[in-house]
């Protein structure tokens, strides 16, 4: 008796095959990451308080992952962002743990939070959360100009859900720290200590 694959698994298999066949060269990935940094810095330059907060985090690195995609961003002394060096250990790691693009899209349409594993410094997570909550930029509108309304809305939903997951991580942060730690000496937490 043969089983019919679900639409989700069929879609995921197609996504995987296309991803394997169309692996972008390293220079293209690097260029796309540079463009992301330029876009983020454009937004940050319109927010003096955001720049002041990033100046205080100069040299701190945040790494974000999904499937085989990742980006490393480091805060600069100017209060902006730059691509982080591969040799530096991240101070904060965000991992979107749902591998299936179909499941992510379905969850976004339903308004559900994607599963995000957050590991690292609680104070840095709080600063990143402040940026997510207070830096105003109509991402969906800008993405819609390039990709259309539906993809722009899906990306915006996923980013909002990641922000919600980080907010929950920050809210329970003091419980995850060693009672002997001072706020200025927060040690990184492993993935087993903080889950999204």
Report yes or no on 14 lying in a domain: no
Report yes or no on 66 lying in a domain: yes
Report yes or no on 138 lying in a domain: yes
Report yes or no on 192 lying in a domain: no
- Determine the structural domain holding residue 150 and report its residue range: 25-183
Extract long-range pairs of 159-164: CB within 8 Å, 24+ residues apart: 159/132, 161/107, 161/108, 161/112, 161/113, 161/114, 161/116, 162/94, 162/96, 162/114, 162/116, 163/129, 163/132, 163/133, 164/113
Q: What is the mean pLDDT of the chain?
A: 74
Asked whether 125 and 173 are in contact (CB, 8 A), the reply is: yes
pLDDT above 70 for 64: yes
56 to 76, 80, 94: CA distances (angstroms)? 9, 11, 20
Asked whether 155 and 162 are in contact (CB, 8 A), the reply is: no
Report yes or no on 103 lying in a domain: yes
Report yes or no on 142 lying in a domain: yes
How many domains does the chain divide into?
A: 1
Report yes or no on 88 lying in a domain: yes
pLDDT above 90 for 164: no
Report yes or no on 13 lying in a domain: no
pLDDT above 70 for 181: no
pLDDT above 90 for 52: yes
């Amino acid at each position: 008796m043969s089983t019919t694959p679900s639409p989700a698994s069929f879609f995921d298999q197609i996504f995987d095959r296309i991803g394997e066949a169309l692996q972008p060269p390293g220079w293209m990935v690097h260029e796309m990451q540079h463009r992301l940094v330029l876009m983020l810095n454009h937004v940050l330059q319109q927010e003096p308080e955001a720049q002041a907060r990033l100046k205080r985090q100069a040299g701190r690195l945040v790494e974000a992952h999904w499937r085989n995609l990742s980006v490393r961003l480091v805060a600069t002394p100017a209060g902006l962002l730059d691509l982080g060096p591969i040799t530096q250990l991240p101070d904060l790691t965000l991992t979107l743990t749902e591998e299936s693009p179909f499941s992510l899209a379905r969850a976004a349409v339903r308004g559900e939070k994607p599963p995000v594993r957050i590991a690292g410094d609680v104070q840095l997570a709080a600063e990143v959360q402040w940026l997510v909550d207070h830096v105003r930029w109509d991402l969906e509108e800008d993405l819609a100009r390039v990709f259309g309304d539906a993809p722009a809305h899906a990306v915006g939903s996923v980013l909002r859900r990641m922000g919600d997951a980080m907010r929950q991580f920050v809210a329970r942060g003091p419980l995850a720290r060693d009672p002997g730690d001072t706020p200025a000496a927060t040690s990184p937490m492993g993935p087993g200590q903080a889950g999204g």
